[in-house]
Homo-oligomer: A and B are copies of this chain.
Amino acid sequence: MPAVKNTHRTTVAQLDVPPRLLLGPGPSNAHPRVLQALGMRQIGHLDPKFIELMSETQELLRYAWQTSNQLTIPVSGTGSAAMEACFANLIEPGDVVLIGINGYFGLRMVDMAERYGAEVKTITKKWGEVFELNELTKAVSTHKPRLVGLVHAETSSGACMPMEGIGDLCQQNDCLLVLDTVTSLGGLPVFLDEWGVDAAYSGSQKCLSCPPGIAPLTFGPRAVEKLNNRQKKVANWYLDLTMVGKYWGSERTYHHTAPINMNYGLREALRLVAEEGLEQRWQRHHDNAEYFWNGLKEIGLECHVEAAHRLPSLTTVRVPEGVDAKAVQVELLQKYNIEIAGGLGELAGKVWRVGLMGFNSRRENVTLLLNALRKAI
């Protein structure tokens, strides 16, 4: 046997991290009860008790999303993994896919869809604006897609896409509707079944207040039908829902080891949602966002998105002329332990992104942030 080399045997201290208030686009702070659940002792991924927990989580996810979809599960990765699971499973090479791009995550949809062989068509808007139903209708009739991908809550722009009529449009044109609800699930009204959404995904680390590392996904009957009638195997083993679905379905067949403790955390996060009730939770997010928006006006700052389409969970605040956006972020972090983020893409340097999500959507956080911001600019 060779000798062990100690070159990389570095000595690191016990973990200690600053007490950050995470008011950026996510992760937001986890709820203390979720953190406690995360640290609970492990059991096996085929243990009868774990299987019980899986069913509870699935049911709680259905409530949060307002869906009765059987195939409603947490994916063993972060939100982007659940996003990719939608495209990997629902696209077959050559399918025409229509993506609405009004922010960064529409662009990511395009990148993913292309990797699975889709012929991608796009419809675009400025970042911060939303699509009108007639624009989508026109695009669908022009491109005749098999799948339409839209972002309900654009984390990069702060815009909330109105969903009325889109499900009907897709059903009439025999195409699937895939919806990104990463920054809306648990924070603002989402009615998947009512809206006729065929597949949706989310993240745990936004309005659900669970750390990242597990990500909700749901497929309705039309999506499941497309999945079951694929000509070719899903081009992604880890996210193949024909196999993952069997572990989460009645068979409970082993596919890959589930992230046990992240599942503990997500269950607790969803339990908190059910305890609070969706209406109350949405109202709380709305009230604290409005309180923030009013406060911004008082200190002379402006929201990037018009009031009608503004996300309560994520606000884009315009950086005033002559202010160094990055310097303000650094000051907030260093002086107040507050994390907010800058803009991406079209909005880089032009906005700050402020999240008031889940456990963090509290009046005291808004008051603190407004006052810290006022001093920093």
Contact = CB atoms under 8 A, between A and B. Distances in A.
Interface of A: 1-2, 4-12, 15, 17-20, 22, 24, 26-27, 29-30, 35-45, 47, 49-50, 53, 56, 59-60, 62-63, 66, 68, 76-81, 84, 108, 111-112, 114-116, 189, 191, 194, 203, 205, 211-214, 233-239, 255-262, 264-265, 267-268, 271, 274, 277-279, 333, 339
B212 A49 contact: no
B42 A39 contact: no
A35 B39 contact: yes
Contact of A66 (B4, B19, B53): B4
A41 B60 CA distance: 24
Contact of A18 (B43, B56, B212): B43
Interface of A (DSSP majority class): loop
A155 to B, nearest CB: 10
B49 A17 contact: yes
A47 B63 contact: no
B8 A213 contact: no
Nearest to A236: B236
19 contacts: A2-B191, A8-B60, A8-B63, A8-B68, A12-B271, A15-B40, A19-B41, A29-B41, A29-B42, A30-B42, A35-B41, A76-B78, A80-B238, A81-B238, A84-B238, A115-B233, A115-B235, A211-B261, A213-B213
A76 B79 contact: no
A339 B44 contact: yes
Nearest to A22: B44
Contacts of A5: 66
Contact of A59 (B8, B62, B77, B236): B8
Given A8-B63, A66-B4, A233-B115, A78 B39 contact: no
Q: How many copies does the complex hold?
A: 2
B68 A77 contact: no
Given A4-B278, A17-B49, A79-B256, A44 B66 contact: no
Nearest to A191: B2
Contact of A194 (B2, B27, B39, B212): B2
Contacts of A274: 9-12
Contacts of A260: 27, 205, 211-213
Contacts of A111: 237
Contacts of A262: 211, 213, 259, 262
A261 B40 contact: no
A279 B4 contact: yes
10 shortest A-B CB distances, which residue pairs? A213-B259, A39-B39, A8-B62, A80-B256, A8-B63, A211-B261, A212-B257, A9-B63, A77-B77, A35-B39
